[in-house]
Amino acid sequence: MTPPPAAVRTATEWLSARARWHPLEIIFWIAAFAAIYLFPARHLILTEIAWLGLFALSLDLILGYAGIISLGHAAFFGFGAYTAALLAKHEIIEEPVLALLISGCAAMTLGFVTSFLVLRGSDLTRLMVTLGVALVLRELANRYGWLTGGADGLQGVSVKPVLGVFRFDMFGHTGYTYCLTVLFILFLVARRLVNSPFGLALLSVKSNPLRSSAIGISVDARLVAIYTVAAGYAGIAGALLAQTTAFASLEVFSFDRSADLLLVLIIGGAGYLYGGLIGAIIFKFMQDYLSALTPQYWPFWIGLALVVIVLVGRDRITSWTTPIRLMAARLNWRSLARRSAERL
């Protein structure tokens, strides 16, 4: 029995709906690349946004898509950062792109090994385990000062030109273009990944692992895979920081960094890839603006914003935009409303 072609076509369309490019997405990326030429004076903060966005994207892959909460994602970020800094300092791999890939692979290896610790247990267990792993790494880096520079950080790193051509400069011009390009490529990969059967399987595991295994999905294998990939992303984000600042310190492993990252993702909303990027933009500009306003007390405002965001979207912590979408649906705002009402 073959179904009518029209039905198959409709189904194909719906199945591809998640993967379709929305005009707003295209505008987003054009704006990001246009900033290379439009805002040269802001390239330093934009560079930070780019690697933070990548770091948050990495957390979104495990939290938003697979439901693994982490308070120690800095472990992979820091591992990538130190790997990149050491490769450059000791002139082992001089070309930054290659060093970036190696740093990513190093972080992936660490992610793979530690993924087995987050397979079992509740959210609380996972918070503690991930937190613990990051603390252990930080102390290891502190203890082995001959390698890492200890509390002083790794001094004397000099990063060679990207692809042997583009020299890093103090204004972040090369840095931003470099970080944005890496972010864009890895975003495209993540976008394919979450819209594939593999991505659907992740969503299914997040929503009901019991049923996932009952349709033949190996839940553990999927979690290990995405945790490993996400660790690689985080490692590359850390390597970008190390390469653009020519420095790595213990702070890359810090608890604050992991906690801020969760904040970034919650600000932007988890589970739709752009959450981390938008969160990174809001977080960095808010931090920039507030710290200029009140150099000492800016975290107060960030904390307040967090409380408000979580209260507004309390039924679904991952998406504070829910009320806005609900309102849109109520106003019968057609094109948007139809999709969102069904998605809610």
Using DSSP's 3-state secondary structure scheme, residue 12 falls into helix
Please, which residues have CB within 8 angstroms of residue 21's CB and are 6 or more apart in sequence? Answer: none
Q: Does residue 273 touch another protein according to CB under 8 A?
A: no
Residue from 199, 238, 279, 313 binding another protein (CB under 8 A): 199
Q: Is the dihedral of CA 296, 298, 303, 308 positive or negative?
A: positive
Question: With 0-12 CB in 10 A as exposed, 13-18 as middle and 19+ as buried, what is 194?
Answer: buried
Q: Does residue 287 touch another protein according to CB under 8 A?
A: no
**Residue the block writes with tokens 């002139």:** 91
Which is nearer to another protein, 190 or 234 (by Cβ)? 190
Indicate the residue type of 266. I
Which is nearer to another protein, 91 or 342 (by Cβ)? 342
| Cross-strand partners of 248 | 154
Indicate the residue type of 208. N
Helical axes 274-293 vs 298-312, angle rounded to 10°? 140
Closest-CA residue to 191 (of 61, 282, 55, 278): 61
Instruction: Choose the binding region for another protein from 116-124, 168-176, 203-211, 233-241 (rule: CB under 8 A).
Output: 203-211
Q: Least distance to another protein from the beta carbon of 167, Å?
A: 35
Q: Least distance to another protein from the beta carbon of 130, Å?
A: 24
Closest-CA residue to 59 (of 205, 275, 306, 314): 275
Q: Does residue 158 touch another protein according to CB under 8 A?
A: no
Structural element, H or E, at residue 84:
helix 74-89
Instruction: Choose the binding region for another protein from 103-111, 174-182, 192-200, 262-270 (rule: CB under 8 A).
Output: 192-200
Q: Does residue 316 touch another protein according to CB under 8 A?
A: no
Residue from 156, 207, 300, 308 binding another protein (CB under 8 A): 207
Residue from 122, 197, 296, 315 binding another protein (CB under 8 A): 197
Q: How many residues bind another protein (CB under 8 A)?
A: 42
Which is nearer to another protein, 158 or 196 (by Cβ)? 196
By the criterion CB under 8 A, which residues form the site for another protein? 1-3, 7-8, 10-19, 192-193, 195-201, 203-204, 207-208, 210-219, 225, 342-344
